[in-house]
Structure 1
């Protein structure tokens, strides 16, 4: 919150600035999350208004460069890595707008608090980030991994290792004694294999967010 207010022009970092952020959240432009396990805890915000995010990513850069996209250009863009990365961001945004539905799909109690977590690695140490987790009242935590794909997501050996390292990093940095569970939130589910079975992960699909 403090960093965001510092970057906003013509907005004070006091009560007025906080009030404006609350107004943007109530209007559906932003969503806020508590940070889990950080020494300097605070409120963290994410832009969730679809048009605003689209404008900042695709339209504003074009206006600054005085370029225009033709129908052919947009068609090619949809096949680019940049577009696929953007689609993943949009899917994350949809998930953040449907936290209650995700909580229900995971059969979690209403007392499970949605949080975010990030660790910045120092030197050769690798950092880690968890966009969404649920801090539960039964001394457990459900870590959610959000992935966008146009078909069932395959967990291979490399990605299996990434997930295990992320969970281990969270345990070490937060020093939590709570039991950790993993949930995969995907557009089309996950492809079952030896790695997905070993993770024993819960799965939430896109269609479950709209029930």
Structure 2
């Protein structure tokens, strides 16, 4: 099978389960298209004896027919099986099949588990019985379940309060590729792109393997974006609606939050989300925000020295942001569409926000570049009381320093002008005045190609981080 790019920690955890000598119950969840199934099938290709993938919006009868077909395929039999009438009978059939196998380790996969568990189907209680009454006591079973609906995986399975309580022995939340993993992915596919080109693609697609698989050798980032986003039938021209509606019931509520956040680069508090969307305060909003956060579409951060109720929500799904800024309602299409927008006001605003998202997702790389990996830190943002000054990223360090980070995306080395120097000095002064901090504040520039050393930067900029550091 095709080689897995990155995922070293996840692969090690999964392989370790094969050596435990006891039954294992592994739950893997993560954003749709992030590569869960590909990872499972590659790591367990020799041990995988049964696999079933749920069908979206199917009935219980259709899911049972799907199960029967999967079991027949696993048996390598041409004889048609009797479709079980319920999930209890289905798992009895599965037990009979597994008991006749001589393999020392047998991996069973139920993919897109939330889709299989249809309303009043009894699937989850039957899975519970299968595990508790039979599989748990064996030494040859590794049960793997995965799903894109992270909230379902957490609430119905991992935090189950019934018979499956504490039965999951290992859980893995699969995140999008990092920049380093993305680079590795391209190398496996014999695609040669420099870091700036990869950053361009990552800002539009994020580290989503299914999207990145559209990149072909010999094409520039601009050409790939044109092909996938602005050409009729391009993969990402119609992905947005499918993405949310396949994960969430009444997805228009989740989309309302996403679109409210996309319109505000500084992020929104819970109260601001209520004011700028058709949603109302209450438990439902809490659930919607949790579902989006667990699925990897948004992030929640606490402003510097603030309380939880002032937490800032931010749209971090790169594709959703790109779609709403440039694809939705776009009249332009075809070759050269994306290149024609470069350096427009809309492009500059988007690229700054998208690059900030990349930096926030690679905080560990920033810390390594600053030489503070071994120091306890807390990251946050900051906005002055009168909204006259904003800091993109603060790294509050145990060594009594605060790294005040300015994140700038540019096509060339960044130049600090005289007016921008004055703006930075004012920002630092307002921060010290309002926060009353007694820690030293070091200005750190996080850019693409570095900051030009000139009379305006000397004595002001203490540290630099470039895009190359984000790949380490």
Which bracket does the TM-score occupy, shorter chain normalised?
A: 0.7 to 0.9
Structure 2 counterparts to residues 1-211 of structure 1, below 5 A: 1-6=269-274, 7-10=276-279, 12-37=280-305, 42-62=310-330, 67-108=331-372, 109-121=374-386, 127-211=388-472
- 1:112 Cα shift? 0.7
Q: Are the counterparts in 2 of residues 38 and 174 from structure 1 also a CA contact under 8 Å?
A: no
Q: Which structure has the larger Rg?
A: 2
Q: Which moved more, 1:178-187 or 1:193-202?
A: 193-202
Distance apart, 1:144 and its partner CA:
0.3
Unaligned runs of 5+ in 1: none
Whether the aligned pair in 2 keeps the contact of 1:30 and 1:45 (CA below 8 Å) is yes
The separation in 2 between residues aligned to 1:168 and 1:39, in whole angstroms, is: 23
Q: Write the distance in 1 (CA, Å) between the matches of 2:273 and 2:354.
A: 24
* CA distance 1:45–1:39, change in 2 (3 Å): closer
Does the Cα contact within 8 Å between 1:36 and 1:117 map onto a contact in 2? yes
Q: Are the equivalent residues in 1 in contact too, given 2:445–2:461 (CA < 8 A)?
A: no
**TM-score, length basis structure 2:** 0.40
The answer on whether the counterparts of 2:299 and 2:313 sit within 8 Å (CA) in structure 1 is yes
Number of residues of Structure 1 aligned to a counterpart in Structure 2: 202
Q: How big is the shift at 1:4? A: 4.5
1:95 and 1:27 map into 2 onto residues whose CA distance is 19
Q: Distance in 1 between the 2:426 and 2:307 partners?
A: 21
Coordinate RMSD, CA, aligned: 2.3
Q: Which ranges of structure 2 fall in alignment gaps of 5 or more residues?
A: 1-268
> Which is strand-richer, 1 or 2?
1
Kept in 1: contact 2:443–2:461 (CA 8 A): yes
SS in 2 for 1:35: coil
* Conserved 8 A contact 2:302-2:381: yes
Alignment partners' CA distance in 2, 1:119 and 1:61: 35
Q: TM-score, normalised by structure 1?
A: 0.85
Shift of 1:179: 1.2
Q: In the TM superposition, what is the alpha-carbon distance from 1:19 to its structure 2 partner?
A: 3.2
For residues 13 and 118 of structure 1, the distance between their equivalents in structure 2, rounded to whole angstroms, comes to 24
For residue 177 of structure 1, report the CA deviation from its aligned partner. Answer: 1.6
Give the drift of 1:173. 1.4
| C-alpha spacing 1:142/1:184, structure 2 compared with 1 (3 Å) | same
